[in-house]
Amino acid sequence: MDYDENMARQSLGEQASEATNSAHLAEMQADRHRRLEDELGRSRSRIREVRESRSERNQGYSKASYAGLHDAVSDGFDEQASSGVSSHTDYSDELARMRAEISSLRDLMGGQRSAPEKTGVSAVQQRLAERLQEFGLGPDLAGSLSRRHKGGKLDDGWKQSLKMLATGVRTSRREWLDEGGVYALVGPTGSGKTTTIGKLAARYVLKYGADSLALVTTDRYRVAAHEQLFVFGRILNVPVRVVDESNTLDDILDELSDRHLVLVDTAGLTSSDKGYQEQLSELARSHHNVRTHLVVSATSQPRIMKSVWHCYKMANLTGCVMTKIDEALTLGESLGFVMETGLPVAYYTDGQKIPGDLHHAEAVPLVRLAVERLKTLQQQAASEKVSGTERPREMA
Ligand SMILES: Nc1nc2c(ncn2[C@@H]2O[C@H](COP(=O)(O)OP(=O)(O)OP(=O)(O)O)[C@@H](O)[C@H]2O)c(=O)[nH]1
Ligand SMILES: [Mg+2]
């Protein structure tokens, strides 16, 4: 479940270039782990053998030399300890063999985790990067944040990184409802565009009434696609207009120019779908100031978020809306995404309730929420560990 293709590539080094695809790469890494396990097993049995033969022939040796051997084994052969037994020729061969084995194990391990002195990363920075990755940030961002922590305790570095995140996450200052204008939501299917428009519309009507609001949809590609929007329109008593062959987006926006707020819903299409290009370019070339926002689900994988952004940026994105925050285990992925793309977050949503589960985004509370989420996750993991060990007893 923790498999990370980038880490696998790093740990395999040049060998990774032999991988023909992701499955092959994963298999190569698994194979490396198996070899490491085998090597460890062999070394353990050799250590056992040496101990056993030592105890059989123990009579002639002093306690001190046994301690020397034991230290040499458990401490990974420091010179002083091994010299404590070097006078016993019976052991020197064994020790030489074990030394060679342990050094080959070290080489193998070297690929798994680089030594701090090799990478120039301190142990605290390494631990901090790990914590940031647990938080949900990608390895690159976690690494660059952790490297900015120049010294001191892990917790200080953690707080400093969170502050940097809160500074790096941009949000839009004013609420759309108060500022007014034309806002369009784009994004992959099921990301929550129509539901978010329903939430915004309902909230607007509660605050300002229905007279200066209108809803528009550009979705003419899917059967009964605009039904949900029409339902919102009927309930809220707000007009809903559909962009089609006889009504362009600009024609409709011209007609609605007296409305304080116009919310434009779009079809969740992918770049291979018919209409994808048409829909986005009509938003981008509109002579109205359409502020197009990308709707991204917080449950998406980071790579999906990035590819969605690449897919939709031709629509001249002004910002984004993060949805399904309630369903995400960690929120670092979403924070990393907005930090890396520089898209300001306008709103985030955390449930299906209309209009309740919609919040105007602010950086510090968002980061705080992400930290709370990590704590909950860690507590759950800890309690699962406890219940996991107790389960057999219960069953018994
Ligand atoms: N848990 C949760 N569910 C949400 C949230 N926002 C939307 N949903 C649900 O996600 C599903 C898809 O939402 P839609 O609004 O239809 O998604 P869409 O982006 O309009 O999808 P397309 O029209 O197919 O492009 C619905 O079941 C929503 O109730 C949220 O914040 N949390
Ligand atoms: Mg929709």
- Position in ligand 1 atom list of the atom nearest CA 269: 25
Q: Are residues 151 and 214 in the same domain?
A: no
Q: Are residues 304 and 353 in the same domain?
A: yes
Q: Which residues pair with 205 in a beta bridge?
A: none
| Average pLDDT over every residue of 373-395 | 73
Q: Are residues 234 and 358 in the same domain?
A: yes
Q: DSSP alpha helices (H): ranges in 86-138?
A: 89-112, 116-119, 123-134
Q: Are residues 23 and 41 in the same domain?
A: yes
395 within a domain of the structure (yes/no): no
Q: Are residues 147 and 202 in the same domain?
A: no
| Average pLDDT over every residue of 270-280 | 85
Q: Are residues 40 and 60 in the same domain?
A: yes
**Protein residue closest via CA to atom 14 of ligand 1:** 192
Domain that holds residue 23: 5-113
Query: 341 C-alpha to center of ligand 2: Å?
Result: 24
Local confidence band at 395 (pLDDT 50, 70, 90 cut-offs): very low
171 within a domain of the structure (yes/no): no
Nearest to 296 by CA among 192, 387, 376: 192
CA 394 to chain centre: 36
Above 60 in pLDDT, residue 393?
no
- Overall domain count for the chain: 3
- Position in ligand 1 atom list of the atom nearest CA 197: 15
User: Amino acid identity of 64?
Assistant: A
212 within a domain of the structure (yes/no): yes
Query: 241 C-alpha to center of ligand 2: Å?
Result: 15
Query: 192 C-alpha to center of ligand 2: Å?
Result: 7
Q: Are residues 106 and 126 in the same domain?
A: no
Q: Are residues 184 and 162 in the same domain?
A: no
The ligand placed nearest to the CA atom of residue 199 is 1
277 within a domain of the structure (yes/no): yes
Q: Hey, which of 185, 193, 195, 297 would you mutate to test ligand 1's pocket, going by the most ligand atoms within 8 Å of its Cβ? A: 195
Q: Hey, which of 189, 219, 263, 352 would you mutate to test ligand 1's pocket, going by the most ligand atoms within 8 Å of its Cβ? A: 352
Q: Are residues 282 and 220 in the same domain?
A: yes
Task: Quote the CA–CA distance of 364 and 322 in Å, as a whole number.
Answer: 15
Q: Are residues 215 and 362 in the same domain?
A: yes
Q: Are residues 98 and 197 in the same domain?
A: no
CA 298 vs CA 129, 302, 335: distances in Å: 21, 9, 9
CB hemisphere CA count around 191 (13 angstroms): 28
Local confidence band at 109 (pLDDT 50, 70, 90 cut-offs): low
Q: Are residues 183 and 154 in the same domain?
A: no
Query: 361 C-alpha to center of ligand 1: Å?
Result: 18
- Residues in contact with ligand 1 by the CB-under-6-Å rule are 187, 189-195, 267-268, 323-324, 326-327, 349-352, 357
Amino acid 67: pLDDT: 43
Task: Quote the CA–CA distance of 338 and 306 in Å, as a whole number.
Answer: 10
Rg, the chain, Cα only:
30
Task: Quote the CA–CA distance of 297 and 383 in Å, as a whole number.
Answer: 28
Q: Is the dihedral of CA 244, 249, 253, 255 positive or negative?
A: negative
CATH of the domain at 352: 3.40.50.300
* Torsion of the alpha carbons at 196, 202, 208 and 210, rounded to the nearest 10: 110
pLDDT tens, residue by residue, 225-258: 788 999 999 999 999 999 988 999 999 999 999 9
Burial of 164 (0-12, 13-18, 19+ CB in 10 A): middle
